[in-house]
Structure 1
């Protein structure tokens, strides 16, 4: 394990759980909550929270935290709970404003459970119901108690949902469209009047045929090409950057920001390269390449940053060469979504090593294999992880990546 990984593991609390988070969006694609994907060492989820002050502290400090509208804010986490967990009366003292308790469809809905759920609602807990099946009458008593109803649009079928929404209207529930996989499905759910949305629709590109990379992104690609040229110098890199003075200014603003804690101000790109090294400048060129235009939600850029840093950290922990390349692969893995271009077209225009291109196109080579592991982790498919690292390493690296992405978004906005 490389030094950064060792330092992280020494500094951060190590939890006996794996956690990831999945955003819950409004109609305008703003993030208003996260669903917590959670497994303890026995493969169970919420039981791992019992008597775990460290886990709860990390949850409230990092997993519910988001940089939005120029400030760091907290949003609620949806926490899946089993009926046995609720009935055993050992719900930890959770801050009511920070969690939404999510009941599962396969719960045994007994009078005892209904009474317990009513009690939690009276105590001020927000409650959600998942896996709702309109054909099963067992759910009816809960519809008068819960606040949010999750509807799996893939299971129910989009064409069947308008009639179902009509039936549900008297309950005055906040409706969450779950498993929204494409932009088209998102638009259809929007027309039906859902309040909340979950799924991977933001991760799917809608390629515009024949589209080319334009604007300052062209200069960024030229800069990237020059950074990778073996004979490149600090001066030759600076000459390319000067084609877009505003971009050079932004890079220098960020480099001089709190993100680097420098003792004195850096006044030129060549100065920055000599002080910080080519890899750091390459990192910032990549970050600006992935900074969103106004038509894309912030969450996409945030996820690209998390993924890039997560890839890099795991590569370091595994002792791999050139972790910066893993960072680039993770970061660019959603560039097709950001720019509405197919990955094939992008790879024709982006100057990268062939192994990195293959990783982005088909998850090939060791770069692609690690990227696949990251994607499993993001989706909470923890049983698919097979890189040979101990489980706590993943959670610490992921948690660090969440915090790092937050700092970078802040620095980029300031810059």
Structure 2
């Protein structure tokens, strides 16, 4: 059985790879095809931690993984130690008391939090608390410029580390450097790299209990 995963580098201002974002894949096609984002994240965690081995996948660097609302709120179900895992909060998640409470619990447990493509909008519930919880704020360089600037200003006032994502051209990279970003991600630095691992499923009573990786 083949297991798939993709990783995309995140680099610093000197161009050194400092982290990877791990991405769901299920074939050699190297594209996202998941129907259920909860299942996609579970598979990413299972493949990275239990099939390929996190040290092999991450090269001992931090890893960013997209988390859905359900997985954040019910975080006790996935049972992954903090370590180098950075929980990336999807932009589609609605912030309310339930999600804020869960994020605070994860923060106290030692996880780092990244806000993915955070939308600086005054109507969002609990913006000050959201920003206080976050360690990183990722800003989409393909989003409207006024949206980028609003979030940049908010992040800087709070002292948060900024990640410029979806950097695709030299001009975008130059602008992100001049604007003072700390980290960078996008096709300009590298497309997602496909990782593949073969394993043999171990069955007990007709159910898969573990995948034994091939050496």
Q: Could you say which TM-score interval applies, normalised by the shorter chain?
A: 0.7 to 0.9
The reply to whether residue 165 of structure 1 matches residue 152 of structure 2 is yes
Distance in 2 (alpha carbons) for counterparts of 1:55 and 1:112:
28
Listed as ranges, the gaps of 5+ residues in structure 1 are 1-8, 66-73, 204-374, 381-393, 398-415
1:411 aligned residue: none
Contact 1:181 1:201 in 2 (8 A): yes
Residues 33-91 of structure 1 deviation map (CA, whole Å, 9 limit, x = unaligned): 000011469643212257x4x641314132101xxxxxxxx101101100111112345
The structure whose Rg is larger is: 1
Map 1:89-238; keep pairs closer than 5 Å. Answer: 89-135=75-121, 137-138=123-124, 140=127, 141-157=129-145, 161-162=148-149, 164-202=151-189
Inter-CA distance 55–29: structure 2 relative to 1 (3 Å threshold): closer
Residue pair 2:120, 2:147 contacting (<8 A) in 1 also:
no
Is structure 2 residue 56 aligned with structure 1 residue 56?
A: no
List per-residue Cα deviations over 1:108-160 (Å, max 9, x = no partner).
22201100100111111011011211125326131111110000011132x76
Residue-pair matches, total: 186
- Structure 1 Cα separation of the partners of residues 53 and 95 of structure 2: 29
SS where residue 35 of structure 1 aligns? strand
- Tell me, in whole angstroms, the C-alpha distance in 2 between the residues paired with 1:91 and 1:125: 15
Separation in 2, partners of 1:171, 1:39:
35
Distance 2:34 2:173 in 1: 36
The answer to whether the 8 Å contact 1:39/1:48 transfers is no
What is the alpha-carbon distance in structure 1 between the residues aligned to residue 91 and residue 131 of structure 2?
A: 12
* 2:42 aligned with 1:47: yes
Structure showing the higher strand proportion among its residues: 2
For residues 161 and 46 of structure 1, do their structure 2 counterparts lie closer, same or farther at Cα, with a shift above 3 Å needed?
Answer: closer
CA distance in 1, matches of 2:22, 2:81: 15
1:30 alignment counterpart: 16
Q: Structure 1 residue runs of 4+, over 3 Å off?
A: 39-44, 159-164
Matches within 5 A, 1:380-391: none
Considering Cα pairs closer than 8 Å and 6+ residues apart, tell me whether 1 or 2 has the greater RCO.
Answer: 2
Classify the secondary structure of the residue corresponding to 1:113.
helix
CA contact (8 A) 2:137 2:155 kept: no
Check whether the contact 2:5–2:23 (CA below 8 A) recurs between aligned residues: yes
Q: CA deviation at 1:165?
A: 2.5
Q: Which residue of 2 aligns with 1:320?
A: none
Instruction: Specify which structure has the higher proportion of helix.
Output: 1
Counterpart-to-counterpart distance in 2, 1:164 and 1:97? 28
- Secondary structure at 2:78's aligned position in 1? coil
Alignment of 1:280-319 (within 5 A): none
Change (3 A) 1:115 1:183: same
* CA-CA distance at 1:161 after TM superposition: 4.0
CA distance in 2, matches of 1:108, 1:161: 19
Contact 1:76 1:98 survives alignment (8 Å): yes
Alpha-carbon distance between aligned partners in 1 of 2:104 and 2:71, rounded to the nearest angstrom: 15
